Amino acid sequence: MFKSLKNRTPLGWLQLKHDKFRLFTALSGIAFADILIFMQLGFMNALYTTNTQYARKIKGDVVLTSTQATNFTRPYTFPRRRLYQAMDIPGVESAEPIYVGSLSWRNPQNREKTSMTVFGFNPDKPAFDLPEVNSQLDKVKIPDTVLFDKASRGEYEEVIERIEQGETMTTEIDRTTITIGGLFEVGASFQDDGALITSDQNFMRLFPRKQPGMVSIGVIDLQEGTDAEQVRTYLNNYLPDDVKAYTYEEYVEGEVTYIQSSTAIGFVFTLGTMMGFIVGIVIVYQVLSTDVNDHMAEYATFKAMGYRNSYLLGVVFEEALILSIIGFVPSVALAAGLYQLTAAATALPIFLPASRAVTVLILTIVMCGISGAVATRKLQSADPADIF
């Protein structure tokens, strides 16, 4: 079989390169469709990553939320006494609150107002698995002092440099002067430009209308050897219906599921990916269909000489496969460059993993294969007698 393939005339490639302009047009169209798919998948992954990045960093075995909460960045508060009640469950070691809010602060470097997510918790009980934050929690015990996410979206180069050199920076939040006591790095999100972390007491100063007795999220640590699933079940049966308990893994999975199924932006990126796929099918179909029509007499000659339809179809599919592979190569390079530009401009975690490149390559081959299958319909019904 391999010998026959080796000796086979590459008719598909010869036909493609015969008309170089058509070949260039086809490759450009495939590259465009692939880049569109790459960008949609990149933005979609960034959406899932940024909207769950703090949820994934929660340092606890069980998470308690209001039953009316939608997701981590838009929690609905519940009474803090639910955390005290949770302590009655055997195996629960501690139950601590996290306060979440969003506000506008003034960029210390250019004085522009930007939206920031603020997290507040007891600095003696770290709520997030962020070593950079946990090593600086003594700083947020100082009144009106926060830690700043240096990966926030915006111009903060001078601010970051001065803080790393040991200087202190101040800015304003709703007529309140705050001090940036330290830095950490997580990243911006689609909702806010960055994040601030501080103590629960400082959080209340920044949000005077919020009540300390109403918390956003409860983080429950269990004693060693305790089954989290069992405690979760006990909590849901024991606590009132205004709260619901999740294991850490269930909570993170629920955040991703919410974004995928309940947000319009997730649907938009999915639709964009599908549109890129359809655009590629149309472009390749136009090229292959034109090629089949231009060479219909030659194909009829082959059929008159005894070649079967399977051989002729193989020629067209060979063209589709060649187009998909060659068109994919420049799209990868261009997508990687666009990812870097987008990440620099938006501070979103957009990168090109090998798994995504393989996925797009498979989609490209399928895309070109479908186009080839549609383009060969006329070829299969062609009769040499009609041609001549």
Are 335 and 380 members of one domain? yes
pLDDT in tens, 116-127: 899 999 999 999
Is 70 exceeded by the pLDDT of residue 201? yes
Can you give the pLDDT at residue 155? Answer: 85
Q: What's the chain's Rg over C-alpha atoms?
A: 29
Average pLDDT score over the chain: 84
42 and 74 housed in the same domain: no
Q: Is 342 within a domain?
A: yes
* Beta bridge mates, 243: 66
Q: Which two tokens stand for residue 222?
A: 């269990």
Residue, of 264 and 277, whose pLDDT is higher? 277
Which residues, 6+ apart, have CB-to-CB distance to 168 below 8 Å?
Answer: 179, 180, 181
Query: Are residues 19 and 73 both part of a single domain?
Result: no
Residues 92 and 216 in one domain: yes
Residues 185, 276, single domain; the answer is: no
Residue 183 shares a structural domain with residue 317? no
Residue 253 lies in a domain: no
State which residues form the domain around 297.
Answer: 2-51+264-387
Number of domains in the chain: 2
Nearest to 189 by CA among 41, 348, 23: 348
**pLDDT tens, residue by residue, 280-304:** 888 888 877 777 777 676 666 666 6
pLDDT at 73 over 70: no
Give the β-pairing of 78-79 and 62-66. unpaired
Residue 1: which pLDDT band, with cuts at 50, 70 and 90? very low
Residue 251 covered by a domain: no
- Mean pLDDT to the nearest integer, 11-36: 79
pTM given for the model: 0.74
Give tens-digit pLDDT for 141-175: 999 999 999 988 888 888 888 888 888 888 888 77
Q: Are residues 219 and 72 in the same domain?
A: yes
Q: Is residue 254 part of a domain?
A: no
Q: Examine residue 201 and state whether it is found in any structural domain, yes or no.
A: yes
H helix or E strand, kind and range, residue 154: none
pLDDT at residue number 35 = 92
- Same-domain status, 236 and 268: no
Q: Are residues 40 and 145 in the same domain?
A: no
- The pLDDT assigned to 385 comes to 58
**Top-confidence residue, 317 or 233:** 233
Residue of 351, 346, 288, 291 lying closest to 321 (CA atoms): 288
CB 134 within 8 A of CB 197: no
Distance between first and last Cα of the chain: 34
Same domain, 75 and 215: yes
Quick one: pLDDT at residue 378? 66
Measured at the alpha carbon of residue 257, what is the angle toward residues 255 and 260, in degrees to the nearest 5?
110
- Last-in-domain residue among 207, 240, 273: 240
Share above pLDDT 90 across residues of the chain, in percent, rounded to a whole number = 36
**Pick from 225, 240, 255: which residue ends a domain?**
240
Q: What is the mean pLDDT of residues 211-221?
A: 92
Domain shared by 88 and 232, yes or no:
yes
Tell me which of 240, 255, 282 is where a domain ends. Answer: 240
Residue 247 lies in a domain: no
CA atoms within a 13 Å half-sphere pointing along the CA-CB vector of 193: 16
Give yes or no: residues 85 and 40 share one domain.
no
Please write down the long-range contacts of 18-25, taking CB distance under 8 Å and 24 or more positions apart: 19/291, 22/287, 22/290, 22/291, 25/287
58 domain-assigned? no
Per-residue pLDDT, 309: 65
Phi first, then psi, for residue 68 (nearest 5°) are -95, 0
What is the tens place of the pLDDT at every residue in 184-194?
A: 998 877 777 88
Residue 259 within any structural domain of the chain: no
Pick the closest to residue 54 from 228, 268, 219 (CA basis). Answer: 219
If you average pLDDT over each of 71-85, 92-106, 311-325, 334-348, which comes out highest? 92-106
